[in-house]
Chain A
Amino acid sequence: MDKIYEPALHFREVDYSVGDIHILKKITGSFPKGKITTLVGPSGAGKTTLLKLCNGLISPTSGDIFIHKKPIESFDPIELRRFVGIALQSAPMITGTVFQNLSLPLELRGEKLSEEDAIRFLEDVGLEDKFLHWKTDDLSGGQRQKVSIARTLINRSEILLLDEITSALDRTSLHEIEELITKINQKYGVTIIWITHNLDQALSIGDYTWVMMGGKVIETGESELLKSPKNELVRQFVQGDLS
């Protein structure tokens, strides 16, 4: 990582524990502004925890997080969460229809989403307009993920956190979503942090990649370079010997 870039988010010696469980250990590093950083690592590595720290759903036990060089605590929590949007791993839905779920971000600030706008967001994630009035309980896992992505996009955040948003998608949908996110990144300069289990995806779509294991970041760098890693653990992980 020799290139000079401006960090959108910066972690300095961040620890996170719940009771006796030490989940994140001394995380230090930056997520470059306007770039896509992918986050990979085995299950339980602490990826989701790290993402939730970025938009203040949880706070570090110790250490500091900076967003555009300002300490994260200096932001109002509500403003922060709109500015740094997240698509949660489980794609949770509020009980009701797809439209109610898409309306949620605006409704929370007392605004309304028009049906035309909602349909446009659905099209963006590759869902037909007929789904607009479906109950979310009737959606497949993949369709839920798409609704969840669309809902996250509605806040038009400058930083987007994506947690395994393609894990239930077929190949075609997967490529559609990858294209959509790349477009958002390139057209609007949105900074993206993207967790994925799919290593090929992480290395192909990312500008930079972080590899996490056991609550630590064991490697960071340009995604391209990680295809032939120097670190032994990373090499094993990339070759699929670890997971």
Chain B
Amino acid sequence: MTYVTLSITLIFVVIPLVLSRTLRLGLEKDTIIATIRSIIQLLAVGYVLKFVFDSENPLYIFLMVALMIVAATQNARTKGKAIKGITWKIAVTLIFVEVLTQSIMLGFNIIPATAQYIISTSGMVIGNSMVLSILFLNRFTAEVESHDDETELILSLGGTPKQAINRQLINAIKASMIPTIESQKTMGLVQLPGIMSGQIIAGADPVQAVQYQLLIIFLLLTTASVTSILLGFLSYPSLFNQRMQLLRK
């Protein structure tokens, strides 16, 4: 694609702008900001990646992954302000998921140990782990608030904090994982996943593209379940104090 054709793709930005204007949706400003941000961020990433791939220096791979984790943590932590120490809890979760998935993929030689593969799979794992953290935290804080009477009841009968919060914890873990599982059911039928589309457009063999896509689907299942469960178990104890009392707000 030349930069001229790339500029023509801006038509796809103009359409929502016009629609937003005529129907007074008030989304023009956000759309423009989103467009500009994505242009700048993606171009920057493109050049950085080119540099990292060319240099093949493991230190740069490490720095890239670390940067992704920091950015993802920053993004997700705003959803869990009610939970003490949420920043490091999210960071630990993201690091754990990343180390786990990369160890399996590299350990079994599923992907070659090159910057190209490590960084793109890490991007997907960390990005999804971040979204899952946000989904989990949103749901968990809402569940905790709306069922605080049940929590108090169980504590009052001599239950542990874990027992008192178990239902909310399980509900939030399940609810946050459902979108991942559901979207994978229709994968290939309704939607051609992004990476696969990208690879096919770039001229890769469709069967090869499918194989990588399957890897990613499986990878994201692990990412989703490990993220929600680990973050859940790290988070709930901060809702209680030493005397096993529920802390409010």
Which residues in A have some Cβ–Cβ distance to B below 8 Å?
18, 55-59, 73, 77-79, 81-82, 85-86, 88, 90, 92-95, 104-105, 108-109, 151-152, 155
Q: Report yes or no: B149 in contact with A90, Cβ–Cβ below 8 A.
A: yes
CA distance A104 to B152 in the complex (A): 13
Given A57-B152, A88-B152, A94-B150, A105 and B244 touching (CB < 8 A)? no
Q: How far is the CA of A56 from the CA of B242 in the complex (A)?
A: 11
Query: CB distance A55 to B156 under 8 Å?
Result: yes
User: CB-CB < 8 A to A79: which residues of B?
Assistant: 158
Excluding A77-B243, A92-B149, 10 further A-B contacts by CB distance (< 8 Å) are A56-B245, A57-B156, A59-B245, A78-B158, A79-B158, A81-B156, A82-B158, A92-B153, A108-B163, A109-B158
Chain B, Cβ-Cβ closest to A73: B243
Q: Which A residues touch B243, using CB under 8 A? A: 56, 59, 73, 77
A-B contact pairs, 27 of them (CB 8 A): A56-B243, A56-B245, A57-B152, A57-B245, A58-B245, A59-B243, A77-B244, A79-B158, A81-B155, A86-B156, A88-B149, A88-B152, A88-B153, A90-B149, A92-B153, A93-B150, A94-B150, A94-B153, A94-B167, A95-B150, A95-B167, A104-B153, A104-B154, A104-B157, A105-B157, A108-B154, A155-B157
Render B234-247 as a binary contact track against A, CB cut-off 8 A, 1 for contact: 00000000011100
Contacting residues, chain A, for B149 (C-beta < 8 A): 88, 90, 92
Contact A151 B157 (CB under 8 A): yes
Separation in Å of the A15 CB from the closest CB of chain B? 17
Interface size class, chain B: 10 to 19
Q: Which of A92, A94, A105 has the most CB of B within 10 A?
A: A92
Contact B152 A78 (CB under 8 A): no
Given A56-B245, A59-B243, verify A81-B153 contact (CB < 8 Å).
Answer: no
CA–CA, A82 to B245, complex, Å? 15
Shortest Cβ distance from residue A118 to the other chain B in the assembled complex, whole angstroms: 15
Complex partner residue of A88 from B156, B159, B167, B245, CB under 8 angstroms: B156
Among B157, B163, B167, B244, find the residue whose CB has the most chain A CB atoms closer than 10 A: B157
Could you tell me if A155 and B158 are in contact, using CB atoms closer than 8 angstroms? yes
Q: Do the beta carbons of B156 and A108 come within 8 Å of each other? A: no
Give B156 Cβ to nearest chain A Cβ, in Å. Answer: 5
Question: A104 contacts which chain B residues (CB < 8 A)?
Answer: 153-154, 157
Min C-beta distance of A145 to chain B, whole Å: 14
Min C-beta distance of A5 to chain B, whole Å: 27
Q: Which residue of B lies closest to A90 (CB)?
A: B149
